Chains A and B, each alone.
Chain A
Amino acid sequence: AQSVTQPDIHITVSEGASLELRCNYSYGATPYLFWYVQSPGQGLQLLLKYFSGDTLVQGIKGFEAEFKRSQSSFNLRKPSVHWSDAAEYFCAVGPSGGSYIPTFGRGTSLIVHP
């Protein structure tokens, strides 16, 4: 069965600092990978996705993520964090192969200090 691990429950950064949120997955084949963001009281918004091809993907709001097959990772990065980036971030393994149900990590809460 596919699974997603986000090892950091909370991350605190200063505004303007760089950010990396970790995501590791377990899946038997090449997965579809996603990062979503959830602001308080809101649904989830897609930041970026990886299906195939270039392993460095660009998303909205200045975010990027890199798929590393050898490490089973899909870490999310941003070079300079803004206060408005404070939110909950979810990594997900998408429907692929025999399992059509996206599996989500437990999320990482990003706190941004001024």
Chain B
Amino acid sequence: GAGVSQSPSNKVTEKGKDVELRCDPISGHTALYWYRQSLGQGLEFLIYFQGNSAPDKSGLPSDRFSAERTGGSVSTLTIQRTQQEDSAVYLCASSATQGTEAFFGQGTRLTVV
């Protein structure tokens, strides 16, 4: 596609439910990042995929968070047993290779009620 696509754009879920957030990176981009942006805060790194290498999961805040990237393209971020503090905008970005600029999707606004 022309840009990074994220779905859904908005998600409201009940506390304790699981959610899946999807990211379609720019075609051919090997690097993919997930960030979290809480109200009034900067971007918090969550996880990084580069090609077929093992992902860098060092930013995941708890074991309730996981992500996968299938076929080196689409990525899914899963949050299990959601908590109210998980409410945030989740941003996905991709870049052509390591060291080049990241292109961002519009984000998924997650609200846990």
One of B13-21, B38-46, B60-68 at the interface: B38-46
Interface residues of A toward B: which range? 20 to 34
Interface residue total, chain B, C-beta cutoff 8 A: 25
Is B7 on the interface with A (CB-CB < 8 A)?
no
Could you say which of B98, B101, B106 contacts A42, with CB atoms under 8 Å apart? Answer: B106
Cα distance, A107 to B48, chains bound together (Å): 21
A106 touching B42 by the CB < 8 A rule?
yes
Residues in chain B near residue A32, CB distance under 8 A: 99
Contacts of B98 in A (CB 8 A): 95, 100
From B33, B42, B106, residue with most partner A Cβ within 10 Å: B42
A44 close to B33 (CB less than 8 A): no
**Minimum Cβ distance to chain B for residue A100 (Å):** 5
CB nearest neighbor in B for A45: B104
Smallest beta-carbon distance A76→chain B, Å: 15
Q: In the bound complex, do residue A49 and residue B101 qualify as a contact, i.e. CB atoms below 8 Å apart?
A: yes
- A49 to B35: give the CA distance in the assembly, Å: 20
Interface positions, chain B 33-58, Cβ under 8 Å from A, are 33, 35, 41-43, 45, 48, 50, 56
CA distance A107 to B38 in the complex (A): 12
Chain A contact residues, CB within 8 Å of chain B: 32, 34, 36, 41-46, 49, 90, 94-96, 100-107
| Pairs across A and B, CB under 8 Å, 30 listed | A34-B101, A36-B104, A41-B106, A42-B106, A42-B107, A43-B4, A43-B105, A43-B106, A43-B107, A44-B93, A44-B104, A45-B104, A46-B102, A90-B43, A94-B100, A95-B31, A95-B95, A95-B98, A95-B99, A96-B99, A100-B48, A100-B98, A100-B99, A101-B33, A101-B56, A102-B93, A102-B102, A103-B45, A104-B43, A105-B42
